[in-house]
Structure 1
Amino acid sequence: MEITVFNFVIVIFNIFGRFCSVKPTSDFIQFRRINALDGITCQASQNMFNVTEVQSGIKCSLLCTEAQACVGVFHQAQTKECFGCSSFTADETLSRAGTRFYGRVPGTNVAEGKQTTMSSVSSKHVNYGGDKGVDGITNQDLWQGFCFHTEYESSPWWRVDLGAKYGIFSVKLYNILNSGGVWKARDLRLSIGITLETMDIVGSVLGQIDDIHTFNFSAGIEGRYVQVTLMGANVLHLCEIQVFGFSV
C-alpha cells in the first residue's frame, strides 16, 4: 500500500495551558497526511478522544499533541469531528466515510531492542553480534564493543525484524569513527519489506557513508524488515541503526 503524504510542523507555545501558534521551527512535533488510511477510524477501545467542532485537520492534530500516547487523528471535514487514536491495525479499524488521517511521526526508534540477523559475525570479534546495532547505544568507537562486525565476505548484510508492520519515514546509520577512514562503512544498500520475499531496495550510497547517514522517505514506506547490505567484498560494521516510524 503506497503512502502519500505531505508534512506540516506544529510548534507548541503553552500559554495558560492553550496552544496558540503554528509555524515552522527546528523545535517541532511533526505530522504527516497519509491518504492510504483515509475513510476509517480506530475502534472505541483505541479511541482516546472524540471532539466536535474542530475546524481543520491541523487543529485536530494539535489535540493529539496534548496526549502522549496519541499516534494520530482522523478528521471529518463535513461534521468537524476529530478522533484521536492510541493505536490501530488495518484488520480492526472501522469504516467512516470522509475521514482524513494525520499521523504523528514519533521521535521513537522502533528498531531498538528488536531481533536482528546478520550474514556472519567476525571470528576475531565474537561479541560484535547483530544486537549491537539496536542496543540504543550510539557510541561510534568500534573497539569499545558497541558495534556489530561481520567477517570479510562478499555482500555482507545485517537485518532487523521490527516485529510488526510500520510506516517508516527515516533510517539512520551510525558509522565507526576510529578507523582513519580505511575501514569505515561504504558502498551500502538499504532494503525494506513487509516480508523477506518482498524486500525492495529503497536507498544506496556509493563510497564512504557519512559519520551519521540518514535515509529519509517523505512518502513513507511500509515495512517490517530493514536490511543493510554492503555491495562488494569487505567487512560490514556499524555502531547503531535507528528506524523511525509508527505502527500501521
Structure 2
Amino acid sequence: MGMMDTLDEWHSIYIKAGIALPGALLSARFRDEGSDEQKMGLLLATALACLLACAAAQNNNPTENLALRGRATQSSTYYNYVFGYLASAINAIDGNMDSNFYHGSCSFTNNDMSPWWRVDLLKSHKISQIVVTNRGDCCGNLIDGAQILVGDSLENNGNNNPSCSEINYLPNGGTQTFECNGMAGRYVNIIIPGKETYLTLCEVQVFGVPVSKKPPCS
C-alpha cells in the first residue's frame, strides 16, 4: 500500500470525526517520490491527525438520534374518539417535535398505575444524552416526577433498569436534555412510578454509541 493510499484511508476517518487534514497534506500527490524530509513530515502530520481524531471520537457527543431507528411501546395507548387519534408510543420517536397533541405526533397512555413508555434501541449503547419534549397544548404537569431509565433488562417491562435522571419539571412544550454519562443499555424507559396518571411524550431523542464501537487508531 502506497503512502497516499494510507493518507486517503485516514482522511476518511478524520472526516467522520469532524477533523480536516492540513491543506499541505491534501495537496500532496506523491507516493514513492519526494524527499525524505517530505515523507517524514507527512508521517508525523498523519500521526498527529490520528491522535486528534481519536480524541474527538472519545470526547464529542454523538449526533445521531438513535431513537429514530428504535421500536417503541408503552403501558397502554389512549384513543381519542372525537378526533379518531390513536396516541401510539411510536409518535414519540417520529422525529417530529410538534408539541400540540391534536396534531398527531405525541404518545399518550390511559390512566394507568405507574404508566411507562419504552424505546428499544435494538442493541446496547453507551447513552450520552436523552432529550425529552413535553406536550405543549396543555397538561405539561403530567410529566412531573417521571423517571428516565437505561439498561439491558426487560424485567418488569424494563422498569427495573438503573435511573439516568428524573424529570422534576418541564413546562408545556418544553424540551430538556438529560445527561446519562455513558450509561449502557438497549432500552430507554420513561415511567411515572407509584401514581395513577397519564404519561404523554411528544418527542424522545437518544444519543450515544454502540457498546462495541471502538474509536479510530485503537
C-alpha deviation, 1:15, in angstroms:
7.2
Please, which of 189, 196, 207 is the counterpart of residue 244 of structure 1? Answer: 207
Please, which of 89, 111, 116 is the counterpart of residue 152 of structure 1? Answer: 111
- So what's the TM-score if we normalise by structure 2? 0.66
Q: 1:116 to 1:60 in 2, by over 3 A?
A: closer
**Contact kept in structure 2, 1:154 and 1:234, CA below 8 Å:** yes
Gaps of 5+ in 1: 1-9, 20-50, 65-71, 73-101
- So what's the TM-score if we normalise by structure 1? 0.59
2:132 aligned with 1:173: yes
Work out the CA distance in 1 between the residues paired with 2:53 and 2:206: 27
Please, which of 196, 205, 225 is the counterpart of residue 154 of structure 2? Answer: 196
Q: 1:18 to 1:133 in 2, by over 3 A?
A: farther
C-alpha deviation, 1:224, in angstroms:
0.2
Q: 1:59 to 1:139 in 2, by over 3 A?
A: same
- Percent identity (aligned): 25
Report what 2:185 is aligned to: 223
**Contact kept in structure 1, 2:21 and 2:49, CA below 8 Å:** no
Report what 2:38 is aligned to: none
Work out the CA distance in 1 between the residues paired with 2:102 and 2:25: 49
Please, which of 159, 162, 182 is the counterpart of residue 121 of structure 2? Answer: 162
Q: 1:242 to 1:16 in 2, by over 3 A?
A: same
Work out the CA distance in 2 between the residues paired with 1:52 and 1:16: 15
Work out the CA distance in 2 between the residues paired with 1:180 and 1:237: 9
Residue 111 of structure 1 aligns to a residue whose secondary structure is helix
Instruction: Write out per-residue CA displacement over residues 203-239 of structure 1, whole angstroms, 9 at most, x where no aligned residue.
Output: 1133x32411211123x11100000001322111010
- Larger RCO (CA under 8 A, 6+ residues apart): 2
Residue 225 of structure 1 aligns to a residue whose secondary structure is strand
2:136 aligned with 1:136: no
Report what 2:52 is aligned to: 59
Q: Given residue 118 of structure 2, which amino acid in structure 1 is its aligned partner?
A: R
2:42 aligned with 1:121: no
Residue 143 of structure 1 aligns to a residue whose secondary structure is helix
C-alpha deviation, 1:200, in angstroms:
1.1
Q: 1:144 to 1:199 in 2, by over 3 A?
A: same
Aligned length: 168
C-alpha deviation, 1:14, in angstroms:
8.1
Q: 1:234 to 1:18 in 2, by over 3 A?
A: farther
Q: Judging by fraction of residues, say which structure has more strand.
A: 1
Work out the CA distance in 1 between the residues paired with 2:24 and 2:136: 44
C-alpha deviation, 1:240, in angstroms:
0.6
C-alpha deviation, 1:52, in angstroms:
6.1
Work out the CA distance in 2 between the residues paired with 1:245 and 1:149: 26
Report what 2:167 is aligned to: 205
